[in-house]
Amino acid sequence: MDAELEKVSWELGDLIGGDEPRKAVDGLLAEAGERAEAFAAAHAGRIADLDGPGLVEVMRELGAIRELTTRAGTYAQLAFSVATADPANGALLQRVEEKGTGIRTALLFFGLEWAALDDAKAEELLAADGLDFARHHLVTARQHRPHLLTEPEEKILAEKASSGRNAWVRLFQEQTAALRVDLGEGEPVALEVGLSRLASPDREVRRHAAERVSAALEPGLRTRGFVFNTLLADKAADDRLRSYPHWLASRNVANEASDESVAALIEAVRGRYELPRRWYRLKAGLLGLDRISDYDRMAAVTDGDESVPWAEARDLVQETYSGFSPELGGIVRRFFDERWIDAPVRPGKRGGAFCSYGTPEVHPYVMLNYTSTRRDVLTLAHELGHGVHGVLGSRQGLFHMSTPLTLAETASVFGETLVFERLLRHAPTPESRLSLLAESIEGSIATVFRQVAMNRFEHLVHTGRREEGELSVDRFGELWAESQGELLGDAVELSEGYRTWWSYIPHFIGTPGYVYAYAYGQLLALAVYARYEEEGEAFVPRYLELLSAGGSRGPEELGAIVGIDLADPGFWDRGLDLVERKLEAAEAAARDAGRL
C-alpha cells in the first residue's frame, strides 16, 4: 500500500465555497436561474435590435450565468465520479442536471436569434470593440444554423434530455463503475486494477486477468447493450431532425473540422495499420511466441520492475515540466500542492483518467486511477498537460478557455512526450530503452490506431442501428471483432471473450464520435514536438502562446502559431512517419539487447 498515494484526493471546495456543499450548489443554481429569467425578460425577441456595445453587455451576462451553472455542474460531476455508488451524489447530479436544463431552456432563444441574423448584421456586431472574449464563440455558433430547430422544438428537446439521454448515460456510468473483477486473490478488484494486470510479464497472469475481466463484463452485458441501443436510436433521431447527413457530422461541426479533413485522417491511419501489426509481430518474438493474443498486447517486453511509487512519479513529472518551462512547472506544482488531483483507485470510483476544466475562475481538476505502473506515470504527465492547457487557456475567459476536441490532446500528448523522452535519455541499457520505446509505441497505437479502429466500430454500430434496427449483444460483438480485426490483421489472435470489451468504453455512450480526436491530437502533438526538437528553447514561447490562446481561434489559426499547417494533405502521414521512426528505434534496441 502506497500511503502517500492514499492521501491524494482533491478538494472541491474551491468550486462552490461554504461548509455545506449541496446547499452551496443549490444557491449557485438559484442565482443562475433568477439571472436567466431576468435576461430572457430583457432580451427575448430583441437580439436583432442590439448594437455592438449591447452585444458585449449581453455576452458578459451570459458568461456570468454560465459561470454559476458550470461551477455547480462541475462540482456534482466530480463528486459523483469518485463515489458513484453514493446515493446522495447521484441525487445531486440529477438535481443539477434538471435545474441546469431549466436554465439552458430559458436562454435558448439567444442562440436561435443570433443564428437567425443575416450575415451582414452579424458581421457588423462581431466587429464591436470589447468582444474579443466571445467573438470566436459567436462565429462558430453560427455554423450550426442549418441544424437548429424552432425555439419550441429546442425547448422540448432540452427539457426531455435529463430524463432521456442524460439518464441513460448516467446509468451506464453507474453500471461500469460497479464492475468488479474476481482475480481469485481475495476481494474482487475494480475494473482498472484487473486491466492493469494485462501489463504483467507473466503470460498466465495476463491470460487469467483477461478471462476474469470478460467474466466480470458478462452479467450486465445485456443492460449495457440496451443502453447503447437506446442512445444509438436517440442520436439517429436527433441527426434526422437536425438534418445532419451522417452520424459523425454533428461531431465534426462541433470540432470545427470538415468532413473531408476527418475522412482524410481516418483513411491515412487505416492505410498505415501495418505499423501496429509490425510492432505486434516484433513483440511476439520478444515474448517468445509465434503470435500474440489480445491479452498480450500490453505485456511488458522486459523483466524490469514496473512499480513506480506516487512520490517518485510526482517528482519526475514536476521536474520535467519545470525543465521545459518554469511557468508550466509552477502550474504543475500547484496541482500537487493545492489538492487539484484525485489519484487512488477506490470502490465506486469511475474508471480511467480525465482533466475537468471547470471555469476560468476556478482551476482544473485531474482524476486518475493510479496503480503504480510506468504507464500510469505517463498518464499523470498526460492529464497534467490538459491541466496546464486549461490554466493558460482560462486567460481567454469562459467562452474560449477550451479548444475543439481536435486540439484538446495537444498539450497532454506533448507533456507525456516530454516525460517519455526524459526517461529514454536516462535509460542505462538497450534493454531499458527497449522497454520505454515499447510503452511509447503502445501508447501511440492506443491513441492513434486503436482510436481510429474504435471510430470504425462506432461507424459500423451507428449505421447498423439505422439500417438493421436494434442490435443484439452478439451483433455488437461481431462489429467490434470486425473493426479490431481490421486493425490487428494476422498479427494478433482475438479471444472469444474479447468480443464484449466494447461494453465498458464510456466515449461510445457519453460522447459519440469523440474518439477520432485522440488520433488527431496525437499526430498534431507529435508534429508540434518535432518542431520543438528542431528549434529548442526558441520554440517554448510560441508553445506557451498556443496554449494561452485556448479556443479563441480556429484550429488552423492555432496550428499556425507553432508553424503547423493543418490544411496540408500530407500532414497526417508526416505524423505517422514519426511513429514509424520510433518503431525502427525499438527494432534497433531489440537487436542491441540481443533479443532478435
Among residues 6, 160, 145, 24, the alpha carbon closest in space to that of 79 is found at: 24
Topology classification of domain 3-163: Butyryl-CoA Dehydrogenase, subunit A; domain 3 (1.20.140)
Place of cell 478471462: 211
d(CA 29, CA 37): 12
Strands 365-367 and 292-293: unpaired
The pLDDT of residue 306 is 64
The pLDDT of residue 510 is 92
The pLDDT of residue 181 is 96
d(CA 50, CA 447): 46
Q: Angle at the Cα of 590 (from 589 to 596), degrees rounded to 5?
A: 150
Residue 571's CB: how many other CB atoms inside 10 A? 20
Residues 6+ apart with CB under 8 A from 112: 148, 150, 151, 154
pLDDT tens digits for the chain (596 residues)?
A: 688 999 999 999 889 876 788 899 999 999 999 999 999 999 999 999 999 999 999 999 999 999 999 999 999 999 999 999 899 999 999 999 999 999 999 999 999 999 999 999 999 999 999 999 999 999 999 999 899 889 899 889 988 888 899 999 999 999 998 999 999 999 999 998 999 899 888 999 999 999 999 999 999 999 999 999 999 999 999 999 999 999 999 999 988 888 988 998 999 999 999 999 999 999 999 999 999 999 999 998 887 656 899 999 999 999 999 999 999 999 999 999 999 999 999 988 988 899 999 899 999 999 999 999 888 999 999 999 999 999 999 999 999 999 988 888 899 989 999 999 998 888 888 888 898 898 889 989 999 999 999 999 999 999 999 999 999 999 999 999 999 999 999 999 999 999 999 999 999 999 999 999 889 888 888 889 988 999 999 999 999 999 999 999 988 899 899 988 887 777 888 889 889 999 999 999 999 988 87
Q: Angle at the Cα of 514 (from 511 to 516), degrees rounded to 5?
A: 165
| Torsion sign (Cα): 216, 218, 223, 225 | positive
CB contact at 8 A, 533 and 268: no
d(CA 83, CA 70): 20
Residue 210's CB: how many other CB atoms inside 10 A? 22
The pLDDT of residue 521 is 85
532 exposed, middle or buried (CB, 10 Å; 0-12, 13-18, 19+)?
buried
Cell reading at 18: 461554504
CA distances from 437 to 26, 288, 355, 411, 590 (A): 50, 19, 26, 20, 10
Looking at residue 245, the DSSP 8-state letter turns out to be: S
Distance of CA 414 to the CA centre of its chain: 15
The pLDDT of residue 429 is 86
The amino acid at residue 526 is L
Name the residue ranges covered by the structural domains of the chain.
Answer: 3-163
The pLDDT of residue 201 is 84
pTM: 0.81
